[in-house]
Amino acid sequence: MPNSSLDVVTASRILGLVAMASLLLVCNASAQQAQSPNASFFVTSKSIGNGGNLGGLAGADNHCQELAQAGGLGSKTWRAYLSTQEADGKPAVNARDRIGKGPWQNVKGVVIAKDVNELQTANHINKENALSEKGEPINGYGDQPNRHDILTGSQPDGTAFPPGEDRTCRNWTSSTDGSAMLGHSDINGPTTNPTRGSWIAAHPSRGCSQQGLISTGGDGLLYCFAGN
């Protein structure tokens, strides 16, 4: 005769596993639903991994697009908030001119800014709101590791630096020469830095290598905006 006690235990275990699997599916679905379908701003959860060599603006934009796609936000056209400097007969490009007119909101639906002027002067970018495409916060000042340095190559008003001193890692094609202007996604930093509260232009990097960016307090991350 079959062992009825054993059958009951086995059935109970199976039901428990099914219940657990169902719970995981529900949790995952809830996490997906938490992403706002109108999201138009995020900080990249990971870098390209080659320091300041992003493959130029096109490579940076593609990185934003790929992460947006992976996060279920790829139906829009995404661009990195980066400037380039005048060089080799090519004009400068201003980060503020690349991202559309706004408004922009993060993946949780929080409005970051209604237009470009508000984005530059009175936005809601901070550690709580500058979320990745996954809806996760970016490690900031005081966290281990600190990843709050975001590549921008821009002046405080979102425009390009004049030609001369490199602030864009050779217009995002070098992981050796130059340096990059960085913004703080958590608008925080050591009190000895008077520009620590700038999300665009907090300080330059220690070179353009991946290790140089990490040692400065970042990871080669980008701000991504959906243009319109």
Q: In angstroms, what CA-CA distances link 21 with 9, 13, 31?
A: 18, 12, 15
Question: Structural domain boundaries of the chain?
Answer: 1-33, 37-226
Helix residue spans in the chain (DSSP H): 4-33, 56-70, 116-121, 169-172, 210-216
**Is the predicted pLDDT of residue 64 greater than 80, yes or no?**
yes
Rounded distance, CA 225 to CA 116, Å?
11
Q: Which two tokens stand for residue 66?
A: 């790929």
CATH architecture of the domain formed by 37-226: Roll (3.10)
Neighbours of 34 (CB within 10 A): 11
The number of helices, as runs of H, and strands, as runs of E, in the chain is 5, 8
Confidence of residue 35 (pLDDT cuts 50, 70, 90): low
DSSP 116: H
Rounded distance, CA 66 to CA 82, Å?
17
The stretch 194-220 carries a mean pLDDT of 97
pTM of the model: 0.85
Rounded distance, CA 198 to CA 126, Å?
10
Confidence of residue 142 (pLDDT cuts 50, 70, 90): very high
**Is the predicted pLDDT of residue 189 greater than 90, yes or no?**
yes
- The pLDDT value recorded for residue 34 is 52
The stretch 7-31 carries a mean pLDDT of 44
